[in-house]
């Protein structure tokens, strides 16, 4: 509010100077835009344009059509399934934990502890996270060993494998749950206690309170944050690479191999592969931003 109503800078009011002041203000953001164009816009635009070109530069849609090769479709599909599973489970579990810590009537020290830990855990991704889960649930991991020793139950003889779809999901949950907790906490704070009290006074059951008040208010942030988690998992590579090497065929690992050694034997198909990733993460991020704007109506 100070920006629109405040007086102009002292020097700028002199007549005849105002025009030159207005027209040169934009110079201050030139370095930023230059940086953004060189290291964000141009590299992305190059891939997007390349996805619609053949090897000599003519316009074509063949690269996009070639994305339907079975191996590429399979890679996208595994990525989508891993991201969706880790986003939905992580979103639900993260929300329950955040709600328990904030509105569950537990002692006051739990919330700041949880938030600090979530800040750490959401940044503890990549190769070290893979190591941690290998030491926990790998073939010689601690939990695996304890289950064999004390319960005579070998999870690897009962269909579990850390280097598999569910193993990857279980590992991703470490940063997905913590990210969910971090982002949902302000939204849960936005649930006013008066609403709950008013509903109770009017005779609403707990189910009715959730069904008609809490979930409609929280809905956009819940859905939006889950989409953010989806994009977060979809673009990840280091955790999967550290966990399984290149054996699990997710799309980031395929793209990694394509960048290193042109495994698709078609540079422009590689660009199309990247474009497909941008479209998927872009769509879920835009939906997240839109839903967040909607949910902020309730947080005034």
Partner 1 sequence: MKRAKIGPWIALFLGTLYFIVPLIATFEFSLRMRRGEYSFDAYAVVLADARFQATFGYSTALAFATIVVGVLLVVPTAYWVNLRLPKLRPVIEFITLLPLVIPAIVLVFGYLRIYNSESWLPMTSSERLTDLLLTFGYVTLALPYMYRAVDNGLRAIDVRTLTEAAQSLGAGWPTILFRVILPNVRVAVLSGAFLTFAIVIGEFTLAALLDRPAFGPYLQLIGANRAYEPSALAIIAFGVTWACMGLINVVGRASHGQTPKAP
Q: Per CB under 8 A, which of residues 225..284 are in contact with partner 1? A: 231, 234-235, 237-238, 241-242, 245, 252, 255-256, 259-260, 270, 274, 277-278, 281-282
List binders of partner 1 among 10-29 (CB under 8 A).
10-11, 25-26, 28-29
Query: Which of residues 36 and 61 has its CB atom nearest to partner 1 in the complex?
Result: 36
Candidates 34-42, 56-64, 69-77, 211-219: pick the segment binding partner 1 (CB under 8 A): 34-42
* Matching residue, tokens 């069904």: 211
Q: How far is CA 68 from the centre of its chain?
A: 25
Candidates 62-70, 151-159, 189-197, 211-219: pick the segment binding partner 1 (CB under 8 A): 189-197
Query: Which of residues 217 and 255 has its CB atom nearest to partner 1 in the complex?
Result: 255
Q: Which of residues 61, 69, 71, 128 is near partner 1 by CB under 8 A?
A: 128
Q: Is 120 in the site for partner 1 (CB under 8 A)?
A: yes
**52 contacts 279 by C-beta, under 8 angstroms:** no
Candidates 51-59, 128-136, 149-157, 216-224: pick the segment binding partner 1 (CB under 8 A): 128-136
In this structure, what are the phi and psi dihedrals at residue 60, rounded to the nearest 5 degrees?
Answer: -155, 155
Concatenating the DSSP letter of every residue in the chain gives: -HHHHSPPPGGGGSTTTHHHHHHHGGGGGHHHHHHHIIIIIHHHHHHHHHTTB-TTS-B-SHHHHHTTSHHHHHHHHHHHHHHHHHHHHHHHHHHHHHHHHHHS---TTHHHHHHHHHHHHHH--SHHHHHHHHHHHSTT-HHHHHHHHHH---GGGGT--SSSHHHHHHHHHHHHHHHHHHHHHHHHHTS-HHHHHHHHHTT--HHHHIIIIIHHHHHHHHHHHHHHHHHHHHT--HHHHHHHTT-S--HHHHHHHHHHH-TTS-HHHHHHHHHHHHHHHHHHHHHHHHHHHHHGGGG-
Q: Which of residues 82, 86, 87, 133 is near partner 1 by CB under 8 A?
A: 133
Binding-site size for partner 1 (CB under 8 A) equals 89
Query: Which of residues 217 and 224 has its CB atom nearest to partner 1 in the complex?
Result: 224
Q: Which of residues 52, 99, 195, 210 is near partner 1 by CB under 8 A?
A: 99
Measured from the CB of residue 217, what is the shortest distance to partner 1 in angstroms?
17
**295 contacts 186 by C-beta, under 8 angstroms:** no
Q: What is the distance between the alpha carbons of residues 90 and 225, in angstroms, rounded to a whole number?
A: 10
Q: Is 35 in the site for partner 1 (CB under 8 A)?
A: yes
List binders of partner 1 among 163-182 (CB under 8 A).
173-174, 177-179, 182
List binders of partner 1 among 196-225 (CB under 8 A).
196-197
Q: Is 9 in the site for partner 1 (CB under 8 A)?
A: yes
Q: Which of residues 77, 131, 166, 290 is near partner 1 by CB under 8 A?
A: 131
Query: Which of residues 65 and 289 has its CB atom nearest to partner 1 in the complex?
Result: 289
List binders of partner 1 among 52-91 (CB under 8 A).
none
Q: Is 31 in the site for partner 1 (CB under 8 A)?
A: yes
Measured from the CB of residue 71, what is the shortest distance to partner 1 in angstroms?
18
Measured from the CB of residue 30, what is the shortest distance to partner 1 in angstroms?
10
In this structure, what are the phi and psi dihedrals at residue 53, rounded to the nearest 5 degrees?
Answer: -125, 155
């Amino acid at each position: 509010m100070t920006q629109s109503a405040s007086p102009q800078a002292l020097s700028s009011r002199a007549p005849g100077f105002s025009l030159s002041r207005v027209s040169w203000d934009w110079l201050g953001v030139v370095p930023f835009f230059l940086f953004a164009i060189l290291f964000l816009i141009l590299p992305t635009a190059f891939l997007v344009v390349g996805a619609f070109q053949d090897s000599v530069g003519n316009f074509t849609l063949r690269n996009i059509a070639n994305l339907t090769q079975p191996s590429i479709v399979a890679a996208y599909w595994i990525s989508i399934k891993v991201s969706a599973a880790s986003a939905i489970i992580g979103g639900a579990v993260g929300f329950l934990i955040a709600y328990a810590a904030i509105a569950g009537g537990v002692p006051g020290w739990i919330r700041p502890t949880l938030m600090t830990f979530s800040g750490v855990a959401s940044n503890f991704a990549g190769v070290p996270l893979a190591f941690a889960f290998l030491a926990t649930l790998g073939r010689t991991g601690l939990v695996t060993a304890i289950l064999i020793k004390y319960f005579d139950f070998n999870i690897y003889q009962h269909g579990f494998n850390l280097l598999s779809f569910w193993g990857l999901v279980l590992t991703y949950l470490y940063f997905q749950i913590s990210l969910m907790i971090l982002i949902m906490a302000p939204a849960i704070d936005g649930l006013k206690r008066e609403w709950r009290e008013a509903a109770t006074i009017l005779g609403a059951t707990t189910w009715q309170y959730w069904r008609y008040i809490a979930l409609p208010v929280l809905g956009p942030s819940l859905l939006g944050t889950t989409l953010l988690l989806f994009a977060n998992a979809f673009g990840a590579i280091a955790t999967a690479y550290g966990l399984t090497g290149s054996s699990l065929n997710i799309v980031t690992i395929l793209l990694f191999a394509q960048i290193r050694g042109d495994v698709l034997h078609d540079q422009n198909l590689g660009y199309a592969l990247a474009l497909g990733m941008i479209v998927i993460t872009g769509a879920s991020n835009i939906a997240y931003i839109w839903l967040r704007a909607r949910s902020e109506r309730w947080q005034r």
